[in-house]
């Protein structure tokens, strides 16, 4: 039986300190107060003084309450029986069914040896031209949707998830609204995907520390399944809540902030999670799709900024559309040379001309006379937005590429596109000049 400690020295924020010995760094403890029992994690050791982060928050904890150390760090079950189940960030059932306390592994395990990774090679088709043509999604990619409150980012997340051919979906909800949770559950249910889904959700009303656990719980489960040769898709929404929880703890611990109050290790913390995305040499894979809402729609805010430096691109969702500027899939070149010869050139040319269109639009709004070239660009931009960018468009890649040639040839002649001659000869619609 492990020792029980009865004297809490300090309570500040969600952090309590006790005097204890033989405590391992990052070990768990149970804190029992009049409110019930909560898990807590060791976050600092200084001589005999142990600082613990209390998952359920420190409200109601009194200095005389009981602290019992468990002698191991946070664990999660990786049993197949998790499928179809719903848990809290702390790993307790949220669906009134029995807890699962076997096949446990430590969360936040070591990093994959880069030598055991392989180059991603499978395109995930989504039927959304702004993704498939311009920023192809690839199995094992880590990619967030950058957006702002009010945009249909969870809908987009769910739509991609449903389209992707994966074996298991793990949903990690952080600060998730109940409506959004229901939306995900119903969507998964309607598509018959619920039975291959595991959900860990933290809601806005749950203690903030539990929010910090969600990505690690979800990813530990994903990793275990991937090692069993499964293709796993992890959905994390909203990672900005995770980052804000990190900030809150850092401030409680009186850490020196680096940028707008966020701790200096925000990059490393986010990276340790996102880097769990992997295509294993001779096992399964983990693909991570996340949501990052940008405070103040500001791309340079520390959360989206650090995220962008970590992830393999981002989909920039704005005004209900995936914006071509700001959106990026860094893995696209791994797959878009194996789809169709014209994939890359359509991708580059259409975006370049769309950039020119945006410039013309600016000129137009300033009241300048439009040249013949400007008129062409305007017509092109409008057609591009309505036929390609609109999120309601749902067509396979090949059809989208054909559509690209059509839009180009509707508005320009060959020379004006700057496309290499051999490709023009092969793909330019024969009925156009």
Report the DSSP beta bridge partners of residue 321.
318, 390
Residue nearest to ligand ATP (CB): 330
Residues 130-169 that bind ligand ATP (CB under 6 A): none
Q: Which helix (H) or strand (E) holds 251?
A: helix 239-252
- Alpha carbons 23 and 71: distance in angstroms, whole number: 7
Phi/psi for 77 (5° steps) reads -80, 145
Binding to another protein by residue 258, rule CB under 8 A? yes
Residue 116 partner contact from another protein, ligand ATP, none using kind-dependent CB cut-offs of 5 to 8 Å: another protein
Binding to another protein by residue 268, rule CB under 8 A? yes
CB atoms within 10 A of CB 143: 27
C-alpha angle 344-349-353 in degrees, rounded to nearest 5? 155
C-alpha angle 75-77-81 in degrees, rounded to nearest 5? 165
Q: Which stretch binds ligand ATP (CB under 6 A): 22-30, 74-82, 326-334, 383-391?
A: 326-334
Binding to another protein by residue 3, rule CB under 8 A? no
Binding to another protein by residue 257, rule CB under 8 A? yes
Task: Give the x-and-dash track for 328-367 against ligand ATP (CB under 6 A).
Answer: x-x--x----------------------------------
Binding to another protein by residue 351, rule CB under 8 A? yes
Look up residue 313 and give its two tokens.
Answer: 């691109």
Binding to another protein by residue 178, rule CB under 8 A? no
Closer to ligand ATP by Cβ: residue 334 or 360: 334
Binding test (CB under 6 A) with ligand ATP, winner from 63, 71, 309, 337: 309
DSSP assigned state of 390? B
Binding to ligand ATP by residue 325, rule CB under 6 A? no
Q: Of 18, 32, 54, whose CA–CA distance to 252 is shortest?
A: 54
- Alpha carbons 139 and 312: distance in angstroms, whole number: 12
Min CB(247)–another protein separation in Å: 13
Phi/psi for 292 (5° steps) reads -125, 110
Q: Which stretch binds ligand ATP (CB under 6 A): 265-273, 297-305, 325-333, 407-415?
A: 325-333
Q: Are 276 and 221 in contact (CB under 8 A)?
A: no
Collapsing DSSP to helix, strand or coil, 403 comes out as helix
Number of residues that bind another protein (CB under 8 A): 81
Q: Which stretch binds another protein (CB under 8 A): 153-161, 208-216, 346-354, 385-393?
A: 346-354
Residues of this chain that interact with ligand ATP (CB under 6 A) are 309, 328, 330, 333
């Amino acid at each position: 039986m492990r020792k029980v400690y009865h004297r809490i020295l300090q309570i500040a924020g969600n952090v309590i300190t006790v005097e204890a010995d033989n405590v391992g760094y990052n070990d768990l403890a149970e804190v029992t107060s009049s409110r019930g029992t909560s898990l807590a994690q060791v976050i600092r050791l200084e001589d005999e003084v142990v600082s613990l982060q209390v998952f359920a928050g420190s409200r109601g904890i009194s200095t005389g309450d009981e602290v019992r150390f468990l002698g191991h760090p946070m664990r999660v079950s990786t049993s197949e029986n998790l499928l179809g189940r719903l848990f809290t960030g702390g790993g307790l059932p949220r669906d009134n069914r029995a807890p699962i306390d076997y096949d446990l592994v430590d969360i936040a395990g070591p990093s994959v040896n880069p030598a055991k990774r392989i180059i991603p090679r499978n395109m995930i088709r989504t039927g959304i031209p702004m993704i498939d043509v311009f920023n192809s999604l690839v199995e094992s990619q880590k990619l967030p949707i950058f957006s702002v409150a009010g945009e249909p980012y969870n809908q987009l997340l769910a739509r991609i998830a449903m389209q992707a051919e994966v074996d298991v979906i793990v949903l990690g909800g952080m600060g998730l609204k109940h409506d959004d949770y229901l939306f995900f559950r119903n969507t998964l249910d309607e598509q018959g995907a619920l039975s291959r889904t595991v959900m860990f959700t933290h809601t806005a009303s749950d203690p903030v520390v539990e929010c910090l656990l969600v990505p690690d719980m979800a990813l530990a489960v994903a990793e275990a399944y991937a090692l069993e040769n499964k293709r796993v898709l992890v959905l994390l929404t909203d990672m900005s809540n995770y980052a804000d929880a990190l900030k809150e703890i850092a401030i409680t611990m009186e850490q020196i902030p680096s940028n707008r109050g966020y701790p200096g290790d925000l990059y490393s913390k986010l990276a340790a999670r996102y880097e769990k995305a992997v295509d294993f040499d001779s096992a399964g894979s983990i693909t991570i799709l996340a949501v990052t809402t940008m405070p103040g729609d500001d791309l340079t805010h520390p959360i989206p900024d650090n995220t962008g430096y970590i992830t393999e691109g981002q989909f920039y969702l704005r005004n209900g559309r995936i914006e071509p500027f700001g959106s990026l899939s860094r893995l696209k070149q791994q797959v878009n040379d194996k789809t169709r010869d014209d994939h890359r050139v359509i991708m580059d040319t259409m975006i370049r001309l769309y950039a020119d269109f945006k410039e013309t639009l600016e000129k137009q709004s300033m009241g300048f006379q439009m040249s013949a070239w400007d008129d062409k660009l305007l017509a092109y931009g409008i057609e591009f937005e309505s036929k390609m960018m609109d999120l309601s468009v749902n067509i396979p890649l090949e059809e989208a590429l054909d559509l690209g040639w059509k839009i180009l040839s509707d508005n320009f002649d060959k020379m004006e596109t700057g496309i290499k001659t051999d490709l023009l000869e092969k793909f330019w619609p024969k009925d156009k000049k």
